[in-house]
């Protein structure tokens, strides 16, 4: 069934949950607002969303090494209190996210971090590809929008399907931990290192510079 924007707005105002969670709840409850509220509460999403504005100044920095030292990740995840930061549940969440980063190699935490020039460049590439199909311009724009959304899901950590359970995103994994541990949490930053990454390109660039100098 089609879910109206009005219904989504009403449910968001009642629960504070995200747009996609509201849409899913309304679909599951066949458009019944009260049943959708119950659905969200049962899932813990409404409560977790309400905590999202609370400050997070504690947390943990972890290092994860994979592949016999071939891949390494440094990750910072924040929470509200030192008490939660020291729990097994929080430590397990941080370790799972670090392992996911090692496996899936995201480039950014969220789409808000993706530079505007990177997004525009992707749009230009997708538009050029789409125009080869000779479709109308409004169709091309829809195709570009769809490809940009796919791009975000590929490069943004929070939007990637969690490697141990592809049915949930990393963002949903964090939301579930918020509901379970009762505090707001946030993935702040990460760095991923892979042995030899970038060295081949630099070597070729150096060789090109030497050849140019000798010409």
Digit-coded pLDDT (tens) for 162-207: 999 998 999 989 988 888 888 899 999 999 999 988 786 665 565 5
How does pLDDT run across 118-154, given as a tens digit for each residue? Answer: 999 999 999 888 888 778 888 888 888 899 999 999 9
Distance separating alpha carbons of residues 29 and 108, to the nearest angstrom = 34
Centroid of chain to Cα 67:
24
Ordered domains of the chain (ranges, CATH): 5-51 (1.10.8.10), 55-112+156-198 (3.30.479.20), 115-153 (1.10.286)
């Amino acid at each position: 069934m089609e879910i109206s924007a009005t219904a989504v707005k009403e449910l968001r105002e009642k629960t504070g949950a995200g747009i996609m969670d509201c849409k899913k709840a309304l679909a599951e409850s066949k458009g019944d607002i009260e049943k959708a509220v119950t659905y969200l509460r049962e899932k813990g999403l409404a409560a977790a969303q309400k905590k999202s504005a609370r400050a997070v100044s504690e947390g943990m920095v972890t290092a994860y090494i994979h592949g016999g030292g071939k891949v390494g990740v440094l990750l910072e995840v924040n929470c509200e209190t030192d008490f939660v930061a020291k729990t097994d549940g929080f430590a397990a969440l941080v370790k799972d996210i670090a392992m996911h980063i090692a496996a899936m190699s995201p480039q950014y935490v969220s789409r808000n971090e993706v530079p505007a020039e990177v997004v525009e460049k992707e749009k230009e590439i997708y538009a050029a590809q789409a125009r080869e199909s000779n479709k109308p311009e409004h169709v091309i724009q829809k195709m570009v929008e769809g490809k940009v959304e796919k791009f975000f899901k590929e490069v943004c950590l929070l939007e990637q399907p969690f490697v141990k359970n592809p049915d949930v995103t990393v963002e949903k994994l964090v939301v579930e931990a918020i509901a379970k541990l009762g505090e707001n949490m946030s993935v702040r930053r990460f760095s991923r290192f892979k042995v030899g990454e970038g060295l081949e390109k630099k070597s070729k660039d150096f060789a090109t510079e030497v050849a140019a100098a000798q010409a």
